[in-house]
Structure 1
């Protein structure tokens, strides 16, 4: 084989690999944005910062994860209302939102044994006494 054929074969192989990579990338359908309305959420982020500051002023942790019992405990007062968002960064289809209203201090735990094992972000947003709060915790199940 001479140099001309070797160069042509190399270029053909390179072009074939590039075309196949483009086809694979175009056919990939499991790409998920972190959120669908990211622009609106970015505009409202100052409100989120205020919620986080309010939560940091609390004397105790509002959200506690017990990895042995696989329980998320909400240490909130009676009358607190909000949302517990179980966020899976690797797959948005596994995300869950749980609305809550604390009426009994004994019934404020969430069992997470049914969730897929791996990395999760738990986002707790609630209102108590006219003030809004936000806490985020990273857990491994």
Structure 2
């Protein structure tokens, strides 16, 4: 075999490989967007940064994950209101939003036994003493 045939076969092999990758990527299901309202969320991003900083200033870990009991433990004061978003990056149909209203002192527990095993982002937005806060934790069930 001479150089010409080798170069042509290499180019043909490369084209076949690229075309195979294109066909596989086009046929893939389950490519999820991070959020449906991406542009509105991007505009609000500075607010999210400010809320995260105010949560950091509290000097306490508000979200804790207890792997043994499969619960999220929230350290929020009496009267705090907000919502907890359970975000599954690989499948948005599993996402959940839970309203949180603390009516007692101590730790608030939220069971996660119903959730599918895997990687989750837990996002908590809440208002405490008139100040909005945001904290996020990544967990694996």
- Bin of the TM-score, shorter chain as denominator length: 0.7 to 0.9
Unaligned 5+ runs, structure 1: none
1:116 alignment counterpart:
116
CA distance in 2, matches of 1:58, 1:37: 30
1:63 alignment counterpart:
63
2:45 equivalent to 1:37: no
CA distance in 2, matches of 1:16, 1:63: 50
Q: Give the secondary structure class of the aligned counterpart of 1:23.
A: helix
CA distance in 2, matches of 1:119, 1:131: 30
1:112–1:6 CA distance, 2 compared to 1 (3 A): same
CA distance in 2, matches of 1:37, 1:99: 20
Q: Give the secondary structure class of the aligned counterpart of 1:108.
A: strand
1:77 alignment counterpart:
77
Shift of 1:114: 1.8
1:94 alignment counterpart:
94
Q: With the length of structure 2 as denominator, give the TM-score of the two structures.
A: 0.83
CA distance in 2, matches of 1:138, 1:5: 53
1:24 alignment counterpart:
24
State the superposition RMSD in angstroms: 2.4
Q: With the length of structure 1 as denominator, give the TM-score of the two structures.
A: 0.83
Shift of 1:12: 5.5
CA distance in 2, matches of 1:76, 1:46: 24
Q: Give the secondary structure class of the aligned counterpart of 2:79.
A: coil
Residues 109-141 of structure 1 show CA distances to partners (whole Å, capped at 9, x for unaligned) of 111122122221111100122110001111121
